[in-house]
Amino acid sequence: MTITVIGVGLIGGSMAIGLKELGIAKKVIGVGKTTASLEKALQLKIIDEALALDEAVMQADIVYIAIPVDATVDIAIRVLDMISDKQIVVDAGSNKFTLCDAIKDHPRRKQFVASHPMWGTEFSGPEAAVSGAFSGRACVVCEKNKSSETALNTVEKLYKDLGMHIIYMSAENHDIHAAYISHISHITSFALANTVLEKEKEEDAIFEMAGGGFESTVRLAKSSPAMWAPIFMQNKENVLDVLNEHISQLRKFKASLEKENMDYLVELIENANKIKRILK
């Protein structure tokens, strides 16, 4: 089949690579905002051809949208407006409620699958796309009853062939969970980087001393503003809820230190250790 990937970066690019390797995509057409990224994607053989949106959609069996969430809504509607009744559209956005709400009454809604493959790295652009990206991870599919059986089966098969397992959720619940397990991790990491950059002037010392702990908590701070700023803004209500709770949890640590309350400090850490239940 022919897959048109709108957005040839980390997710779209890795999807293209995976589907070509599996022989599922005979041809991958790329649509991008800049000619630079399209040229890079062509050069890296991630896509076979770069076309303008209309033409690229026309030729596609499946249209895979993997662009920042604020752009996804408009593009999804434009693509749905264009397609025939044989084509399928999927998105990979990190928020699902705004999008699902925007397209809920579209006459082609059944040909759309709202998905969120739970994989990513702190890198972006076609150069960040890798083989084997999604294997072993979960893919969330939202509002599955609003997609036709054909669309759902076709899209789920793609993800499963890439080694993912499917979990179902309402768009609202997805966005709440995503705020907890992904969005807040990125905000704390950005804020931690800003803390260090603000106060710590001896960067050589940090560089020398930085062990695994620093590296792992600050790694996400390298992530792209073009991708993450729209995610936080669009999922504002949930993100603010989590952020307020997180600040209040940090204040408990602050209070325990200010009051030199060792028992309380130990209690806070022991409680945090319960995360072992959740993390593998």
Residues 221-260 that bind its own copies (CB under 8 A): 221-225, 228-229, 232-233, 236, 239-247, 249-254, 257-258, 260
* Beta-ladder partners of 113: 90
Q: Is 90 helix (H, G, I), strand (E, B) or coil?
A: strand
Smallest distance, its own copies to C-beta of residue 201, A: 10
Residue 133 is a binding residue for its own copies (CB under 8 A): no
How many helices and strands (H and E) does the chain possess? Answer: 13, 8
Residue 34 is a binding residue for its own copies (CB under 8 A): no
Q: Whose Cβ is closer to its own copies: residue 150's or residue 216's?
A: 216
Residue 218 is a binding residue for its own copies (CB under 8 A): yes
Cα–Cα distances (Å) from 163 to 59, 80, 132, 133, in that order, read 27, 28, 9, 9
- Which helix H or strand E contains 185, and what residues bound it? helix 184-199
Residue 24 is a binding residue for its own copies (CB under 8 A): no
Residue 170 is a binding residue for its own copies (CB under 8 A): no
**How many amino acids of this chain bind its own copies (CB under 8 A)?**
93
Distance CA 13, CA 50 (A): 13
Q: Whose Cβ is closer to its own copies: residue 85's or residue 207's?
A: 207
The C-alpha angle 66, 148, 108, rounded to 5 degrees, equals: 65
Q: Which of 19, 88, 90, 169 binds its own copies (CB under 8 A)?
A: 169
Q: Whose Cβ is closer to its own copies: residue 52's or residue 275's?
A: 275
